[in-house]
Amino acid sequence: MILKITEAINSDLAVSSDDAVVVENLLLKKIEEKEQVTLDFTGIDTLTTAFLNVAIGTLYARFDPTTLNAYIKIDGKTLTALQRDKVRLVMENAKTKLSNEELDNDED
Amino acid sequence: MEDEFVLVIPASLSFSKRPLEQILEQLALAINSTKPVVALDFTKTTFVYGELSSLISSMISIFFDDGKKVRFRGMNRNVEEYFRKNGLLASLGIGLTGVDRFHTVIHHYRIKSDDKNSIRAYVENEIMNNISNLMTFDPESNDAINLQLSKIKPAIFEVVDNSKSHANSEYVYLSGQYYPKQKRVTIMIANTGNTIPGNISNKTDEIFDSSAEYINWATTLGNTTADTDTLKRGLGLYDIKSNLFETGEFGIVSGHGFWKMTSTGSIITEDLDAPFPGTLIHLTFLLKDNPLLKNIENKGYTNNDDDLSF
């Protein structure tokens, strides 16, 4: 299925962590149901890391990248260059944080 | 007047350590004073950078919340005229907003931090429209300038979300000024909520010697407390810093901390003698040609989708 972010949050401002929870829950549900989802950002006027941290970043805490790639695709054509940069930043940051956490757990 | 606490505003009010410290030392005393009236004394003030209206307004709110009354004193005609034009006086019920013939003033507003539509209207109507109407740039620079302008709205929303989610501040105080000769637009967003050093100190195990170092930590990529809940937080300040690197300036005052990234990318961290009970964010977007903006590939703004996999 295609998940249009504007429809999911009923706004073209993807800027708050509160709105992002809606997307996060939808994605978690789809993964649990083993259904593939393509995220479509068409029409999003403003996108922030505050939104992406919750909508996408938190998924790394629940599933490994292989599982996430199997079920979730981000349609890069629907993002502006600046927005694409933010998505990449959030993904890299989430991976780094979880890697650090694993390292810390190994040390404990 | 015996029942007044007189808070003297410096000669030049700018986002620099010394004038801020002069104000904040008196702010701390005024907050602790039992006097029911605070007089903001502008007798010495000859110049105010317009965006600093957010600081004045947020201080007044702190006094009001404490049940104090506020008076203005000794404001010269130019300063008073400016505060009329940018709506600061009108927001306090003093007269009507004056006319800005040059359209360089970005009005002052206090907006609820969860009111996305008002924030959007502020950015689009107060900031973007004014600048777009005034811009007469070399067409070869247009792509660079437009890229720079496109960063303003997300940056403001990042700051506002921080004010709501992390500072727990009900309101944000926004002011700005377009400086056409210097080809820059500067915006200040203030909140009176939890400070950045206080939040980091309370929610992580990080310990630093100074408040400014806590702010520096908050603007740095990759910091973690080994807590998956941190996936929900952070990045906003780092994202702004990275987007303004050598294409603008970025300043933060929070608690005792003063942190600033200059237009050459240098970081200044100093502690203030007195705290601001909240956070001031000072954003400057340089609206002139810059190789970093012209060749956007250098900043990682590519159209390659290969790296959008998890």
B14-33 tens-digit pLDDT: 999 999 999 999 999 999 99
3-state secondary structure labels for all residues of chain B = CCCEEEEECCCEECCCHHHHHHHHHHHHHHHHCCCCEEEEECCCCCEECHHHHHHHHHHHHHHHHCCCEEEEECCCHHHHHHHHHCCHHHHCCCCCCCCCCCCCEEEEEEEECCCHHHHHHHHHHHHHHHHHHHCCCCHHHHHHHHHHHHCHHHHHHHHHHHHHHCCCCCEEEEEEEEECCCCEEEEEEEECCCCHHHHHHHHCCCCCCCHHHHHHHHCCCCCCCCCHHHHHCCCHHHHHHHHHCCCEEEEEEEEEEEEEECCCCCEEEEEEEEEEEEEEEEEEEECCCCHHHHCHHHHCCCCCCHHHCC
Q: How far is A10 from chain B (nearest CA, A)?
A: 13
ipTM: 0.91
Measured from the Cβ of residue B246, the count of other Cβ atoms closer than 10 Å reads: 16
- The mean pLDDT of B160-165, rounded to a whole number, is 94
d(CA A49, CA B197): 21
Tell whether the model's pLDDT for residue B101 goes beyond 60.
yes
Residue B275's pLDDT band, with cuts at 50, 70 and 90, is very high
Tell whether the model's pLDDT for residue B225 goes beyond 50.
no
Question: Is B206 or B253 the better-scoring residue by pLDDT?
Answer: B253
Q: Which residues of A touch B128 (CB under 8 A)?
A: none
Contact A88 B300 (CB under 8 A): yes
Of A69, A84, A104, the CB nearest to B226: A104
Residue among B236, B266, B267, B270 nearest B255 (CA): B270
Q: Which residues of B touch A104 (CB under 8 A)?
A: 226
Instruction: Determine the residue among A11, A17, A39, A49 to mutate to test chain B binding: the one whose Cβ has the most chain B Cβ atoms within 10 Å.
Output: A49
Instruction: Determine the residue among A51, A52, A86, A97 to mutate to test chain B binding: the one whose Cβ has the most chain B Cβ atoms within 10 Å.
Output: A97
Encode pLDDT of A49-79 as tens digits: 999 999 999 999 999 999 999 999 999 999 9
Please give the model's pTM, rounded to 2 decimal places: 0.92
Contact A84 B235 (CB under 8 A): no
Residue A10's pLDDT band, with cuts at 50, 70 and 90, is very high
- The mean pLDDT of B88-97, rounded to a whole number, is 87
Tell whether the model's pLDDT for residue B142 goes beyond 90.
no
For tokens 């429209």, what's the residue? B129
Tell whether the model's pLDDT for residue B45 goes beyond 70.
yes
Tell whether the model's pLDDT for residue B302 goes beyond 80.
no
Give the residue on A whose Cα is nearest the Cα of B146. Answer: A82
- The mean pLDDT of A76-105, rounded to a whole number, is 84
Q: Which residues of B touch A90 (CB under 8 A)?
A: 235
What's the pLDDT at B228?
47
d(CA B85, CA B82): 5
- The mean pLDDT of B108-117, rounded to a whole number, is 97
The verdict on A42 touching B (C-beta cutoff 8 Å) is no
What's the pLDDT at B63?
97
Give the residue on B whose Cα is nearest the Cα of A55. Answer: B232
